[in-house]
Every structure is written in C-alpha cells, then in structure tokens.
Amino acid sequence: MSPEGACAILIRMSDARQQTPESLGAGLCADCIHSRRIESAHGSVFILCNLYQTDPRFPKYPRLPVLSCDGYKQKP
C-alpha cells in the first residue's frame, strides 16, 4: 500500500506536540467542529469524525486530507 493509500495515521506522538491540526494535512477536518484528534497508546495520531455516530455517510476515521465534506462546519 502506498503512503497516499494509508488510512488516517498521521504522525508519531513525539512529533505531535510540535504540530497543529492545520499542519497535519487533515484538510477540512483541521478546523471542523465535528472532528477530534485521537492519540493512540502506540504514538499514532488520528482524526475522528463524530458525525459517524449519527450518519452512516461519514466514516469514523476519514481518509485524509478531506477536501470536500457535506458535514463540514468551521470551528468558531
């Protein structure tokens, strides 16, 4: 599988402290009210879309970067 085909694994946790959501390449998820940053015990960072809980059109962990999304709402 190529790096472009990788799911939502973004960076190692040691690098996460120096990164901002915008610099992670998450696209629209970087500033969407429905997204949440998840850090695993193994040091991986994921973007979770909370819309998956109420709407089956949205994946729990979207393929990044998200460039178009019907559920996108910018954080205030």
- Are 55 and 72 spatial neighbours (Cβ–Cβ below 8 Å)? no
pTM: 0.66
Cα 33 to Cα 5, 27, 41, 43, 47: the distances in Å are 25, 13, 24, 24, 12
CB 51 within 8 A of CB 40: no
Map residue 72 onto helix, strand or coil. coil
| pLDDT per position as a tens digit, 27-75 | 999 999 999 999 999 999 999 999 999 999 999 999 999 999 999 999 9
Give residue 24's pLDDT.
53
Q: Who has greater pLDDT, 11 or 49?
A: 49
